[in-house]
Structure 1
Amino acid sequence: MVDLSYDFIITLQKEVLRKFGAEVILPADCKHLSHAILDTTTKLVSETTLKRVFGFAVAQHSFSRYTLNTLSQYCAYKDWEDFQQRHHQQAGGAPATENNKWNTLKAKADAVSHYTLLTLKNRSGVPFQQTAARQYCFAHVERFLESDYAATALIAPSGWGKSIALVHVAEHFWFGREGRYKQDVCWFIHAHAAGSLLLKGFSLSTWLDNQLNLGAGENLREYFAQHYKDKGGRLVLIIDGFDEMSVAGDKLRMLYSKLEDFVYSNDRYPWVKVILSIRSSTWSDIFQHSQQYPAFRRYWYLGQEMEEETNINLPPLTEQEVKTVLHNYLFDPAIIRTFSEQFLQRLRYPYYLQIFCQLNADAEKHFVDEHLSLYEIISKFIQQRLFNSPSNSLKIRIIEKMLSLLDLGRNGIYTDKGLLLNQNADLFPAYKELLADNILVEENLSQEIMFYVKVRFAHNMLLEYFTAMKYLQDSQQQITQCLVHQVLEHLPQSPYRVGVFQWLLRFAINQHNVQGIRCIFQGNFTAPEKSQLLESLALHYQHEGKGSNELKAIFPPSYFQQYPVKHYVSDDIFQFRNRSVLHVLLTLVESPEDKLRIRFILFMNALVGLHAEQCEVELLQLKKLFATELRDDVCWVSPYEIALFFYDYLKFGIVDEDVRTRIYQFSNYWSYATQPLTFCQQIVYRSLSCIFSMLGDYETQHRYAQELFTHVPWLRFHKSDPFRVLVLCRQAEACLNLGDISGAERLCRHAEQVVKQYPTEFIYSRYPEMLQKVMQGAVLYAKKEYPRSLRQAEQAMEHLHKLDFKTLAIANYHLLDKLYHHLKMGHQQYEVQQQLELIRKSTSFKHEQVRI
């Protein structure tokens, strides 16, 4: 076997491609190239070997002399030695002298590094040119290079993007066109290449000494320490993927022992640096014991983000880096802006982002809804990392034991490692694979006097998935009313319970099990839970192109008479963010009241988004509904009149005095509130607070809120009702504008506590939650706590950018405008004014009238 430091592999690749008649080669071309080599030389170089030569697969060791000779003969050379000698002469090669030994070493390092870079780029799950450079890694390596530390490592689970991060780092500092440290010698190798030498008995020191043929007993580091004028810069050794080597644990420990020996021996040579990538599970096994020794921390730089419990120092991608990858992948920027915060948080894990990009690889294919994509990503991840694994049976045993210890989620998300493995040595290798694949995560809470390691699933969605599959396994893969009742009884109301049912629903959809879907929807869920399940169902059939026909088979005529739509769509008018789901519901419901409920939600969604043209469409539909199916005299003012009042005021700045007079007569009609309200009456009561705010009549707004809580006593006790939070925030707004700052602060604080205490009630009801944040910023401004007000307003704007609540965005921008002016932040104030101008141009509503 030849040494890995040969200089002419890249040149040989180019010669082979020239002979083959191609400028670039793809993995599929390696089969045809193998045939061409066989025809020319009568010698066989397999397709797999060619993939390793061109970097499409990992080279487990250096290339054989047979492979190199055959490729050289294909290019019309006698053998590999002849190829090297001819090209060495063409390059004007000369023996190394004291003046060019550093350059000779650099030339060797560059040849190997370029090959490693090519290999890692070709292995990238997302095409390398579409990946994003991680600024954290640049900063981490920069701090390390400027320090006295001898070594550093990027530590994270498998699929975290460590290798691609190292490629970006290598190009940024050493190999890019504008590399910052061109004079350094950077030796970038994969651990398979280094490991094959180390296992033979070599040390890294001996290997480096051999690169310049210094002679017996001479040491490279000592040589350049004595001839420091000949040294151009640092000697940086980057080793990627030591723990990807398929060697026994004792051999892996031996490799790391040799690596540590090399690191510690560089104490007198601060210009020799080592950069390593390693999985967190391996770091825990191999290196964590070294942390007991002071010397370890003196030599190893672990960075500012190191999490001692999970052994991770490489954070996930930032949200901006995720968006950069998606933009590079030619996703429509308008679609990217619609991604929810939760979805972007999932895509921050590079492996999930890779799967998502692969799911949308076809440029002609329409984007898969983020909700559906999330479940597809998890499903594919589990399929690849668990079910396709040779040790899947052992892994499933561990997961089943984990679910048993967690009582399917009732006992929390953590369990004890000792209880999980129970000293069963047969499970240890499979357990290590689950950690390496980022299905399970360890959190080491050990202290000097005790050993305690907790284990959890890497993400809650994995726990939800495996819990749902366990329920299905116990019910013989059948979704029945008994199963639904069992889950509802066993799991308390929470987002986790909804997540489990999302997986059960997905299973029923994939199995075309209509009866199973009906069983799920007949369960005793809360309205928000049913809303989420219905959205998943509607989105699936919309994506499949089947639409309402399939849904009508699930929800036949009269279904929503037996199970009213109010159990699926909350009375909170700002609940649904997905208009397409509401349009699907419109094709299914039959009663006029259900149609009114959905149409008014659609109107209010368009209104808070300042979509004037969509408001006109919904107004027309509301008018038809009252003309044909509903009476408009069931309340002192009808929902259609309320909607038209909103529209006319915002569009033209005009007020229908007749409607206004009747609206202000609300005190005469509180008798309605003591009886069960029709939905028409509910719409009116819910709209009044917004109308008074829109008109700027804060005295009436405050009086209305007080009378509402007096005459509708049930509202006082339904703390989690989003409408109640909305009224509290409007009352705080009134107090603030009437000079009662302490009253406004008290109301805002109470609303904030409710939102935090009942988060599940506000999964869709984001409008009251965001209104509270905007009002909190305004209260802090009134108290002249400008820094706190600024933080609150900027945090609110981060959320509002992701939501289509332009009415609130305008109010928050006006607050930021005042804050930036007061704090003399002219540049930021100018940007806010530009954003306000963009909103003004995007709508035909009058900007100055917007106060809802």
Structure 2
Amino acid sequence: MTSLLPQYIEVLKTAVLEKSGFSTITPCDCKAISNLIYNQTKFSISETTLKRIYGFAYSKFKPSLFTINVMAKYCGYQGWDDFCHQQEQTPQTSATNNASWERLKINASKITNFTLQVLRNKAGIPYNLTIKRQHVNHHFDEFLAGDYTATLLAAPAGHGKTIALCHWLEERINLNAQGNSDDVILFFSTSALMSAFLSGRDLNQWLLALLGYSADENITALFDDQQKKGGDFFLVIDDLDEHNYKPEQFKLLLSQLTDIFSLYQSYPWFKLIVTMRSDTWINNRHDVDNGSNKWFKGFIGNANWATNVPLFSVQEIKELSHTINPGAKSGLSADIATDLNHPLYFQFYYKEHKDNFSLSDIDHVCIYELISTFILNKVYLGHYSAEKILLLKGLIERMDFVNQNYDVTKTSVNALIKQYPQAYNELTGVGFIRELNNSTDLQYQTNIEFSNHNFLEYAISKTLLQANNFVFDTHLIKAINTQFEESKHKLPVLKWCLLYAIRTDQQLGFDVLSQTKLSLKEKSDLIIFLGDMLDKQWASANRSESLTQYFKKDCSPALFNYFFGIEFINLNYKKTLHSLLKFGLSNRKRILVYTMLASSAVMRLDMNDLELYLAKLKAIPAEEYNRFAINPLKCLDTLYAFFKYGEFKKEVFAEITHFYFNPPKEGNYFEDNASNDMIYLLGAYTSLIAQAPLKTLRYINILEKNYKKINLQKIDSYTYFLGVVMGNCYFRLGQIQKTEELYAAFNTVYKRNNDSFTNYMKNMFYALRLKTNLLLKKYAHIIEDTTSHMQVAGENRLSKLFMLAIIINNKDIEEVYPQFHKQCLYEHGKLLRETNVTTILALKSTPAYNT
């Protein structure tokens, strides 16, 4: 009986395709071929078996002799032995006559084209819709330009290594076809290497056999001769990862591959390319690299991470989206892009929205839903799901959250791994966890870690919930506050817990969110997430009855006030506020929501939005506004008239004057909450357009006596924005010392923790810095500070408009930096035209409004 020689199996697979009338094969063709084989031979080879043979499904074993015999009979032979005998009778040429470059190219191209076809069909997104990765192309350019023998594409699972490699190989093949190169490219995936082990042959001999040659033939002489003509031999192996093999198999394979590298590294025509996960390289680099300067790695950032295939850039996300659906809008915010930049998550999103693909529907909850889908399919479903959950729980319980140590030493969980070995292999196989060997000659150090922060945060949240009997309550919030006080994982873990809570009808517990200890930036992020989550649940066709009743009720005071804060103002916050309107809100709360929405419109100078929200406010009975110490409708109506028509309405200023001479003595007007913060800040900002800074300061003094003290040593959001108003007043009054002292206090807080500031707060900080330096006549950094302010201001066009007005009305700036002054004048005029606000503002020698 003839053994299952790999080169003959490849020939037989091609013969079956030709017999069936296929030039290439896709997974769905396997069913048709299965029927054709049965109709002719009356023997059955299942569709699944054919998928394994043609590489569409993973197989650890070689095809059975029965299967090979039936395939041979289908092709007109008596069986496998007869097929092999016929192949042996085919005239074979000698090494000197037959070892031709063209023959080598043809034999290699058959295998390469087949491998490309299989991998293209396996792509999560249809291959014709995928894009080339420029960073990967640059990586290969550097590799070929240098004196290197081998390179690798290394990254965690799901970074798009295989697709990027396929695109690059297609370009090389096209260069051959166009006559611009004369390379031999032999490309196969790691599943094909199983044949080498099963045949019992040396890897080098196996590769030669695949190409139709024996070990006795002088291939190196042929390559040496051809290299003088400019041709190279590329050996390309995809998915060379240790989790695909038993440990002893992988070590043997790696040893033989290293032997091939060592054998050919002195030949400039030999080029080895492999793709592997970062952890495979880290765990085996001592065997592969061994200090050789012939390996080109090109790792990005920290070389210890062993990654040279980056996540998607914003431009790549837009390009890919346009390729998938050219007619879809490509608008994408930076924070959403950061969530979707992982190729694996983008692939999940495509699968769920391929019928009407668009990025416009993506929100801040989307990435969590995509990860949940992955975990459902890879962890909760299939074999050993219970064991996987217990193993993950055991890993999490051995982490030190307080000291932010999220790696687990393998020795500490070795018993756990032995208890659930199949679960461990499955989780490493799908890339959920990974094993990193960083041992030295002095110490054994192998750690187990989650492959990315998303998987880690999900697993942590599930462990915390389980420890709290899966209840979302004060105890859970306290545990998160305590164990993740300064951790970047705190907010994502909280989000996972929120998703679990709303899906298990625990939304009544959301009031405890006010107990979470978050920075203002983190809180802003959480509020936007919470709004998106409520929106999705409201629109869900599977909304529970308890959730329906939840929305019908008025929003609780604790949760309602949690949503409020001027510091959160941006376009995403606008969407979140609209989600509050889905509740059965009281008229007071509806006034507050529309007031915040209108205030946001003022900051953006969006007159259309402002008109819309004013109409909503005016539709609410007038007596409802008597419950406010400062009438928000009058404030907003005054601001609208001022910006739209240059009209100055005095009624609201009379009300503010009455307030600081006769503040209310009874009622809940001075109850400390976010809603009142907003109302009093609105009054302060409105008073600025009266251009009477002393009156505005008097208003602030009354607030300090009756509402809240301003503490510049510990600036909260209310203090921060009221301080901004004070700074504007000092600036207008020319009080240099007070302006400088105020800025110094702000600067101390900003330097200490600027990462916790929202963009709107940063915008205010840069505006105050500019004014302080203008008063002090410190012009050295005025251009850089103005640029920083404009960048941070973003959609806040009101702030841009008034800062530009201050600069263009400063004669010193005009003299010192004439070109800069000219540019500011142009930008100011452009903003006036875009916003369609009254030009009277441009005529003010000292702008009256600071935002």
Asked whether 1:417 is paired with 2:409, we answer: yes
Q: How far 1:619 sits from its partner (Å)?
A: 0.7
TM-score normalised to the size of structure 1? 0.79
The equivalences for 1:379-778 within 5 A come to 379-388=372-381, 390-406=383-399, 409-418=401-410, 420-422=412-414, 426=418, 430-431=423-424, 434-440=427-433, 449-452=442-445, 455-477=448-470, 492=485, 496-511=489-504, 513=505, 516-522=506-512, 525=515, 528=523, 531=527, 534-535=530-531, 537-545=533-541, 551=547, 553-554=549-550, 557=553, 560=556, 563=558, 565-570=560-565, 574=569, 577-588=572-583, 590-625=585-620, 627-631=622-626, 635=629, 638-657=631-650, 659=652, 676=671, 682-683=677-678, 685-687=680-682, 690-691=685-686, 714-716=709-711, 719-728=714-723, 751=746, 754=749, 766-772=759-765
2:30 — aligned with what? 30
2:39 — aligned with what? 39
Corresponding residue pairs, total: 817
Task: Return 664-673 or 240-249, whichever deviates more.
Answer: 664-673
Q: How far 1:151 sits from its partner (Å)?
A: 0.7
Q: Residues 443 and 455 of structure 1 are in contact (CA less than 8 Å); yes or no, is this contact kept in structure 2?
A: yes
After superposition, the CA RMSD in angstroms is 5.2
Task: Return 377-386 or 743-752, whichever deviates more.
Answer: 743-752
Q: How far 1:152 sits from its partner (Å)?
A: 1.0
Percent identity between the aligned chains? 23
Q: Residues 440 and 456 of structure 1 are in contact (CA less than 8 Å); yes or no, is this contact kept in structure 2?
A: yes
Q: Residues 538 and 584 of structure 1 are in contact (CA less than 8 Å); yes or no, is this contact kept in structure 2?
A: yes
Q: How far 1:252 sits from its partner (Å)?
A: 0.8
Q: Residues 720 and 755 of structure 1 are in contact (CA less than 8 Å); yes or no, is this contact kept in structure 2?
A: no
2:261 — aligned with what? 263
Over residues 529-578 of structure 1, what are the superposed CA-to-partner deviations in whole Å (9 max), with x where a residue is unaligned? 984685255223223058898656226656636x5732443465737834
Report the Cα distance in structure 2 between the residues aligned to 1:450 and 1:823, rounded to whole angstroms: 65
The equivalences for 1:334-349 within 5 A come to 334=329, 336-341=330-335, 343-349=336-342
Q: How far 1:273 sits from its partner (Å)?
A: 0.7
2:57 — aligned with what? 57
Report the Cα distance in structure 2 between the residues aligned to 1:777 and 1:80, rounded to whole angstroms: 84
The equivalences for 1:773-784 within 5 A come to 783-784=779-780
Q: Residues 309 and 443 of structure 1 are in contact (CA less than 8 Å); yes or no, is this contact kept in structure 2?
A: no
1:305 — aligned with what? 300
1:319 to 286, 301, 314: 314
Q: Residues 653 and 846 of structure 1 are in contact (CA less than 8 Å); yes or no, is this contact kept in structure 2?
A: yes
Q: Residues 108 and 211 of structure 2 are in contact (CA less than 8 Å); yes or no, is this contact kept in structure 1?
A: no
**Can you give the 5+ residue segments of structure 2 that lack an aligned partner in the other structure?**
843-849
AA aligned to 2:135 is Y
Q: Residues 442 and 453 of structure 1 are in contact (CA less than 8 Å); yes or no, is this contact kept in structure 2?
A: yes
Report the Cα distance in structure 2 between the residues aligned to 1:100 and 1:472, rounded to whole angstroms: 66
Report the Cα distance in structure 2 between the residues aligned to 1:241 and 1:604, rounded to whole angstroms: 54
AA aligned to 1:3 is P
CA 1:728/1:290 → structure 2, altered by over 3 Å: closer, same or farther?
farther
Question: Alignment partner of 2:220: what SS?
Answer: helix
Asked whether 1:3 is paired with 2:2, we answer: no
Q: Residues 562 and 674 of structure 2 are in contact (CA less than 8 Å); yes or no, is this contact kept in structure 1?
A: no
Task: Return 110-119 or 569-578, whichever deviates more.
Answer: 569-578
Q: Residues 310 and 441 of structure 1 are in contact (CA less than 8 Å); yes or no, is this contact kept in structure 2?
A: no
TM-score normalised to the size of structure 2? 0.79
Question: Alignment partner of 2:355: what SS?
Answer: coil
Report the Cα distance in structure 2 between the residues aligned to 1:780 and 1:290, rounded to whole angstroms: 59
1:121 — aligned with what? 120
Report the Cα distance in structure 2 between the residues aligned to 1:419 and 1:813, rounded to whole angstroms: 62
AA aligned to 1:593 is R
Report the Cα distance in structure 1 between the residues aligned to 2:708 and 2:481, rounded to whole angstroms: 30
AA aligned to 1:252 is F
Q: Residues 805 and 828 of structure 2 are in contact (CA less than 8 Å); yes or no, is this contact kept in structure 1?
A: no
CA 1:485/1:277 → structure 2, altered by over 3 Å: closer, same or farther?
closer
Report the Cα distance in structure 1 between the residues aligned to 2:301 and 2:368, rounded to whole angstroms: 30
Q: How far 1:435 sits from its partner (Å)?
A: 4.6
Question: Alignment partner of 1:186: what SS?
Answer: strand
Q: How far 1:219 sits from its partner (Å)?
A: 2.9
CA 1:463/1:321 → structure 2, altered by over 3 Å: closer, same or farther?
same
CA 1:517/1:380 → structure 2, altered by over 3 Å: closer, same or farther?
same
2:280 — aligned with what? 282
AA aligned to 2:279 is S
Question: Alignment partner of 2:185: what SS?
Answer: strand
Over residues 698-743 of structure 1, what are the superposed CA-to-partner deviations in whole Å (9 max), with x where a residue is unaligned? 9779968996897676221583522433345566677789999998
2:160 — aligned with what? 161
Report the Cα distance in structure 2 between the residues aligned to 1:757 and 1:312, rounded to whole angstroms: 33
Q: Residues 10 and 111 of structure 1 are in contact (CA less than 8 Å); yes or no, is this contact kept in structure 2?
A: no
AA aligned to 1:256 is L
Q: Residues 606 and 835 of structure 2 are in contact (CA less than 8 Å); yes or no, is this contact kept in structure 1?
A: yes
Over residues 420-479 of structure 1, what are the superposed CA-to-partner deviations in whole Å (9 max), with x where a residue is unaligned? 425666167755654554433566665554444555434444344323322443455455
Report the Cα distance in structure 2 between the residues aligned to 1:391 and 1:836, rounded to whole angstroms: 66
Question: Alignment partner of 2:595: what SS?
Answer: helix
Q: How far 1:398 sits from its partner (Å)?
A: 3.7
Question: Alignment partner of 2:274: what SS?
Answer: strand
2:846 — aligned with what? none
Report the Cα distance in structure 2 between the residues aligned to 1:9 and 1:704, rounded to whole angstroms: 93
2:232 — aligned with what? 234
Q: Residues 729 and 751 of structure 1 are in contact (CA less than 8 Å); yes or no, is this contact kept in structure 2?
A: no
CA 1:141/1:61 → structure 2, altered by over 3 Å: closer, same or farther?
farther
Question: Alignment partner of 1:256: what SS?
Answer: helix
Report the Cα distance in structure 2 between the residues aligned to 1:780 and 1:111, rounded to whole angstroms: 71
2:135 — aligned with what? 136
Report the Cα distance in structure 1 between the residues aligned to 2:711 and 2:286, rounded to whole angstroms: 55
Task: Return 250-259 or 163-172, whichever deviates more.
Answer: 163-172
2:170 — aligned with what? 171
Q: Residues 484 and 523 of structure 1 are in contact (CA less than 8 Å); yes or no, is this contact kept in structure 2?
A: yes
Question: Alignment partner of 2:153: what SS?
Answer: strand
Q: How far 1:153 sits from its partner (Å)?
A: 1.0
Q: How far 1:325 sits from its partner (Å)?
A: 2.5
Task: Return 597-606 or 517-526, whichever deviates more.
Answer: 517-526
Over residues 123-159 of structure 1, what are the superposed CA-to-partner deviations in whole Å (9 max), with x where a residue is unaligned? 1112212223221111111111111111111122222
Report the Cα distance in structure 2 between the residues aligned to 1:722 and 1:215, rounded to whole angstroms: 77
1:90 — aligned with what? none
**Can you give the 5+ residue segments of structure 1 that lack an aligned partner in the other structure?**
88-92
AA aligned to 1:264 is S
2:847 — aligned with what? none
Task: Return 125-134 or 216-225, whichever deviates more.
Answer: 216-225
Q: How far 1:382 sits from its partner (Å)?
A: 1.9
Report the Cα distance in structure 2 between the residues aligned to 1:13 and 1:795, rounded to whole angstroms: 63
Over residues 146-177 of structure 1, what are the superposed CA-to-partner deviations in whole Å (9 max), with x where a residue is unaligned? 11111111122222222112112212333479
